[in-house]
Amino acid sequence: MGHGHGHGHGESGHGASRAADRRRLRWVLGVTASVMVVEVVGAVVTGSLALLADAGHMATDAGAVVLALGASYVASLKAGRRSTFGYHRAEVLAALVNALVLLAVCGYLAWAGLSRLGDPARIDVDAGPMIAFAAFGLVANGVSMAILNRSDKGSLNLRGAANEVFADLLGSVLAIAAGVVILVTGWDRADPLASLVIAVMILPRAVLLLRDAGVVLLEIAPQGLELDDVEHHLRHVDGVVDVHDLHAWTITSGMPSLSAHVTVTDEALAARGVGAILDQLCSCVAEHFDVRHATFQVEPESHEAHEDLGELH
């Protein structure tokens, strides 16, 4: 006897949240593309590697936001006969690509910065205009961060976009700092050093995003959901004698799921019926663990010896 509760729970809320996220992403895309153009011009005019690095990062950000927008639209498509969970994972795939792009940007900044430090003759920076261009980028990135910070922090897709914008904001701050150092002291190496610092600050955020996307794609149990605790609570539902084949995973950020085989005494099934027991099981995981997409296979104790779970269970 199998049953699932809450399969559609909260999906309308997810749809409304995604629509709001898309509006924010469109605003951020416009701001990011504008800053990218301005900083490319600034890098050419001033000769600043920090500005060029930030402009290159802006270009990857614009692509990442386009990817996030596309993933959000795809995730909103209705489930089909074969895509029974819908396309929610598209958002996680977008977050994974964002993380990989961030890692590539880190590698480029490290290479370019070290190359210039090794050949100081290549450094020729006009500090005054560099500061002005970087200040424009700082203001614009601050606006983008404010827009994204109003969104649902649980979305990996939005987190990926926010990470990109935050890294850009740091880049603008460091470019301004490097420009001030060059303007005051004439020490041109501040420019490639700023690009190296940007790479170091981006790296851990990229790794964390990569890890979180990997956890979802590998269907590892959601963080904070201890399966031993889940089993303990389920075993204390009246009539339950065994819980096995227990699995927990995340469909997409904010949508944890769970399935289990639950063995119940024949007396409990006869007295209360399978519906009442299923209601208790679903209420248990919803109240204690906030899991509302749960599927249980309820089995009479007398049938337990006949169960075949196959090799993977």
pTM, full prediction: 0.69
Look up residue 252 and give its DSSP letter.
S
Q: For the residues 46-60, what does the mean pLDDT come to?
A: 75
Each residue of 88-97: pLDDT tens digit?
A: 777 788 778 8
What is the pLDDT, as a whole number, of residue 9?
A: 42
Q: Strands, E, within 69-158: which ranges?
A: none
pLDDT of residue 6: 45
Kindly report, residue by residue over 284-302, the tens digit of the pLDDT: 999 999 898 899 999 998 8
Of all residues in the chain, the percent with pLDDT exceeding 90 is 22
Average pLDDT, integer, range 180-200: 86
Distance (Å, whole) CA 229 – CA 179: 55
Share of the chain above pLDDT 70, in %: 83
Q: 8-217 adopts what CATH topology?
A: Alpha-lytic protease prodomain-like (1.20.1510)
Mean of per-residue pLDDT scores for the chain: 80
- Residue 21: closest CA among 76, 86, 93: 76
* Residue bearing tokens 């460091």: 174
Residues 6+ apart with CB under 8 A from 285: 230, 233, 234, 258, 291, 294
Domain boundaries, the chain: 8-217, 227-306
- The first and second tokens of residue 195, run together, are 């690009």
- Type of residue numbered 66: V
Q: What are 203-222's pLDDT values in tens digits?
A: 887 888 888 888 888 888 88
Within 8 A by CB and 6+ apart from 192, the residues are 49, 50, 112, 113, 114, 115, 116, 117, 123
Domains 8-217 and 227-306 share a fold: no
Say if domain 227-306 classifies as CATH 3.20.20.80: no
Q: How much is the average pLDDT of 91-109?
A: 82
Half-sphere exposure of 77 (CA within 13 A, CB side): 15
